[in-house]
């Protein structure tokens, strides 16, 4: 579990860094949507290159057809979220933006876990988790106190 925690921290650091870089790209190009398109194009190319060079086998057609329709639209939410990051970071700053974004991610993640959305393992909310949510929201308010 220690390695997974380190990898999760690395993922968070990568997201904060790329969001800052691509938000600045949007500022310099004067178009946050263009920065979003550039970021997703680069992501797609790298992902396809790794996929094609790996030994992973692509699923058969019946597997593709068995996927529920709504699961094919996660990329729309990615584009919305990432586009909003690149638009808001230059206006709010990366720290405040990430604090609100992470709060939104954690709150929705806890609900998704509680209800087992999308086939996730169920992790019920309890008093300790509600206390954690209250501490999280308090922390976000304190982080952003002077920015209000």
Q: Tell me the pTM.
A: 0.80
* pLDDT 10s digits, 54-69: 987 889 999 999 999 9
What domain range includes position 109?
2-147
- Which ranges of the chain would DSSP assign to H, the alpha helix? 2-29, 32-53, 61-66, 74-92, 94-115, 127-143
Distance CA 19, CA 95 (A): 11
Token pair 């990432």 in the structure block, residue: 82
pLDDT of residue 144: 86
Q: In total, how many domains does the chain have?
A: 1
Q: Span 98-114, mean pLDDT? A: 91
Average pLDDT, the chain: 91
Nearest CA among 11, 29, 32, 14 for reference residue 85: 32
Q: Span 8-23, mean pLDDT? A: 90
CA dihedral 27, 86, 36, 20 (to 10 degrees): 80
Q: How many CB atoms lie under 10 A from the CB of residue 87?
A: 18
């Amino acid at each position: 579990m220690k390695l997974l925690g380190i990898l999760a921290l690395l993922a968070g650091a990568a997201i904060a860094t790329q969001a800052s870089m691509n938000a600045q790209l949007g500022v310099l190009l004067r178009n946050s949507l263009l920065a979003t398109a550039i970021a997703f194009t680069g992501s797609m190319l790298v992902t396809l290159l790794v996929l094609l060079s790996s030994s992973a086998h692509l699923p058969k057609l019946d597997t593709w057809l068995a996927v529920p329709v709504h699961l094919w639209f996660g990329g729309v939410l990615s584009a919305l979220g990432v586009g909003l990051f690149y638009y808001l970071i230059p206006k709010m700053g990366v720290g405040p933006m990430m604090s609100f974004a992470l709060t939104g991610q954690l709150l929705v993640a806890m609900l998704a876990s509680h209800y087992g959305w999308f086939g996730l393992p169920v992790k019920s909310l309890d008093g300790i988790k509600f206390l954690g949510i209250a501490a999280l929201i308090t922390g976000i308010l304190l982080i952003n106190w002077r920015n209000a």
